Structure formats: C-alpha cells, structure tokens
C-alpha cells in the first residue's frame, strides 16, 4: 500500500478549498488515501510575518479577482465570503473529532465545512454552525459541540499546528507526497505527475 498523501489546510483558505475538492480523487488514481491536516494559518503567519492574501498591498486586490477566477477555471462553485478571514478553531478541531470517531466520513466532513463557508457563506467559526454542518451528514451534533470546547481537542489542534510549522508548512494548501512538499492549488498538476513518475 503506497503512502497516503498529506493535505495541510486552513478552513479560511480559498485555495485550500479549491485543492480540497480535487485531492482525494487525485490520490485515488494511485490507490492512495489522504491524511487531512487542518491547522491554524494565523499561527504560521506569526512565524513568517505574512498575512491573509486579500489584506496585502497590491496582492490583495489581485487575489480577490484571482480566487473566484481560479474557481471558475476549475469549475468549482465559489462565493467570496463575508466575514473573511475567520477563526477556524471550531471546524479544525471538529475534523480531528471526526478522524477519531468516524474516520471514513472525514473527506465528506472537510468538503461540507468548506462548502458551507465558501459556497453558502455560513460562518463556520461558530462551533454551533460547525456542528450543524456535520449533523447534516448524520454525525452527532451534541457530541461534536461538546468536544470542540474541551481541552483534548484544543491541545490536539495546537500540537498539529506546531507539527505543521516544524515541518516547514507556511501556507494553505500544503501537500506532501512521498516526502516532497507542494504549496498551492496551482501545484495540483505537479502533484498529479509526481507519483506517476516517482518524482521528476
């Protein structure tokens, strides 16, 4: 069994969303699974001194045009959300809950949360909204809502975010294939060729 593809992302990342819609089918072509690794991009920005793309001078106005255009290019539904960016502790912790309690539902859970924010404009920074979205998939709303406020999941997300930083993750999406790192939805074409040729 080939190694899984590791997918690091923040739930407030438009390009994380775009790549998330593609990564599992891409991995499946090679009989690979995806390890979903939500982390807090805000903690990374403290290390890099960077900030959310739309807030940067010059790059900001461009990115507000590039993001929906890139979505249209890929044929993925996208509505620029307001508020943006949002805190993503709640959905990120909830995904680690899903990993522990219903691991076979994790891809569906990631995509449902991303769509709730980037298509339907729902503010998933709210633990209630995150729990509502996952309940619509048949997951246990009350358990999730309780768990995301408890110390165990808080510590899990802190540790995962630190692990990501220690590994050099500086943006979202950040994908690792057989030890090779790829940053950005615009490296999906390279990611797709990498396992086919054993690197290039």
Residue 163 near its own copies by CB under 8 A: no
Residue 179 near its own copies by CB under 8 A: no
Q: Between 85 and 171, whose beta carbon lies closer to its own copies?
A: 171
The radius of gyration of the chain from alpha carbons, rounded to an integer in Å, stands at 16
- Find, among 2, 28, 12, 15, the residue nearest to 174 by Cα: 15
Q: What is the DSSP letter of 60?
A: H
- Give the count of beta carbons closer than 10 Å to the beta carbon of residue 133: 24
Nearest 10 degrees: Cα torsion 89, 127, 145, 171: -20
Per-residue interface string for the shown chain with its own copies, residues 50-79, x marking contact by CB under 8 A: ------xxxx-xx--xx--xx-xx------
Q: Of 5-13, 82-90, 126-134, 181-189, which segment contacts its own copies by CB under 8 A?
A: 181-189
**Rule CB under 8 A: which residues touch its own copies?**
44, 47-49, 56-59, 61-62, 65-66, 69-70, 72-73, 168-171, 181-184, 186-187, 189-190, 193, 200
């Amino acid at each position: 069994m080939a190694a899984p593809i590791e997918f690091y992302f923040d739930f407030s990342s438009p390009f994380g969303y775009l790549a998330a819609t593609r990564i599992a089918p891409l991995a499946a072509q090679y009989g690979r699974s995806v390890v979903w690794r939500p982390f807090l991009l805000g903690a990374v920005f403290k290390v890099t001194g960077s900030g959310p793309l739309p807030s940067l001078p010059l790059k900001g106005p461009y990115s507000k045009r590039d993001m929906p255009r890139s979505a249209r290019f890929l044929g993925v539904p996208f509505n620029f959300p307001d508020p943006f960016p949002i805190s993503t502790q709640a959905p990120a912790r909830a995904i680690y809950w899903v990993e522990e309690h219903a691991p076979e539902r994790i891809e569906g859970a990631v995509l449902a949360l991303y769509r709730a924010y980037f298509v339907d404009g729902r503010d998933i920074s709210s633990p209630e909204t995150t729990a509502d979205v996952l309940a619509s998939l048949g997951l246990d709303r009350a358990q999730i809502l309780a768990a995301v406020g408890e110390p165990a999941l808080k510590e899990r997300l802190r540790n995962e975010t630190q692990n990501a930083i220690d590994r050099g993750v500086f943006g979202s999406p950040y994908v690792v294939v057989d030890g090779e790192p790829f940053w950005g939805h615009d490296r999906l074409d390279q990611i797709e060729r990498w396992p086919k040729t054993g690197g290039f």
